[in-house]
Amino acid sequence: KSIAIIGAGPGGLVSVNEYLNTKLEDGTPAFDKVVAFEQKGSVGGVWVYSDEPDVVEDDLIKSQYWNADTVHPEIKAPEGVENHTVDNPLETAPADNAHQWRRSGVYPNLYTNVSRRFLRFSSIPYTPGKERDVIGPLITHEDVNEVLETFADEHKLKEHIRLNTQVQDVRKDGDQWVLTLRKTGGDKDEWYTESFDAVAVASGHYSTPYIPYIKGLDTRAKGSVSHAKSYRTAEPFKDKTVLIVGSSLSGVDIAQYIDPIAKVVFSRTPGKEEIYKWITTAAEKADTRPRIKEVNGDLVTFVDGTQLVVDHIIFATGYHWRWPFLNDKLIQQTKPGYEGTTTSASRVKDLYWNIFNIEDPTLAFIGVTIGTTKFHSLEAAAAATAGIWSGSKQLPSKEEQYKWIQDRIAETGDNLFFHYY
């Protein structure tokens, strides 16, 4: 009867709307309580622009920068928080929000790689762009954020969303999910707990940057290593040699802005199968080197023995799946990385159709499926959870669900491709 949604980006917004409009056979609302928690001060998730980016600080490069637990640490709740409610929170000094990765990777010139027609939910009419839209049928990040803001306003979703509220812990107590919550933005942090029947995790995939382990990376000069998430403008790279590690979407997109004023070199795995086949063609004019073997200060040595003096390294190597509020008993991933850690290529385990936790389907994920029709897959996941949680639909047996996973692994491999459609 009560649902918590974690995140108020595209997945969270469409989930709130779906649950509010799900009815039982007699026409009454299926759910009595629908609440979304968003750590930012506005809705929109990854599409909310910030002038000040999240940055990979030098102290992080001096530590285990490849380890998600180090890059995005859990914030521990104060003692006694379980005795406090939203109306009577426990006040503490503000927690250290370093490495919480709240800001998005959106930069001023970013535009979509999916057309306007597909960046909408089913209730939003399709309206062709104006003739002056030089990038049509693609649209800018401002346009996408406007779509989401309008959607939230027209459907009166914001009254069901608590902004500046970070979910710090999710645990099961009997048949209830107990969320530990932290409201930020004031002189004090306000902590409390709240219980729900089901939880939809819609916090996205593009928050916690992944940087692979490279021998000697910690010998780089201060400020000479960054992640694509931190990019905002090409100007800092003027007249420099910039090595972009990774040649997929974000790497190629950033390169087009840096290339006119700097020397751009790509480091990529030779012969690697790209998710989108046209990527290699799009990047063919840039100098390309193989994978990095090691780094010694400004000198980079590649696996073929060649070397290059590099002023700056940008890692366009993707993001961790990261839910620090969930323990390993609730969600696990494959760990193909250095010292048995997760990477941007990890598969999220035991989710039926990338949505339902097989062992406890009252925990579900909105947004694990990856593809160009992202808005549609988010809405489909929200509809699926609404159907199951309202009792109008039933999941197949656990055996059938686990068989679906094994069949999918046989088709795609035990990696990130599992989640692509």
**Per-residue pLDDT tens for 297-342?**
999 999 999 999 999 999 999 999 999 999 989 999 999 999 999 9
| pLDDT the model gives residue 134 | 78
pLDDT in tens, 137-187: 899 999 999 999 999 999 999 999 999 999 999 999 999 999 999 999 999
Q: What is the 3-state secondary structure (H, E, C) of 161-210?
A: EECCEEEEEEEEECCEEEEEEEECCCCCEEEEEEEECEEEECCCCCCCEC
Non-local (6+) Cβ contacts of 353 within 8 A are 369, 384, 404
User: Which residues make beta-bridge pairs with 194?
Assistant: 179
pLDDT in tens, 175-220: 999 999 999 999 999 999 999 999 999 999 999 999 999 999 999 9
Q: CA nearest 12: which of 165, 142, 185, 152?
A: 152
Quick check: 271 pLDDT over 70?
no
Domains with residue ranges and CATH for the chain: 2-53+71-208+320-419 (3.50.50.60), 217-315 (3.50.50.60)
| pLDDT the model gives residue 270 | 64
Tracing tokens 């406090």 back to the chain, one arrives at 84
Non-local (6+) Cβ contacts of 372 within 8 A are 113, 114, 118
Quick check: 275 pLDDT over 70?
no
Quick check: 97 pLDDT over 90?
no
**Pairwise CA distance, residues 214 & 265, whole Å:** 17
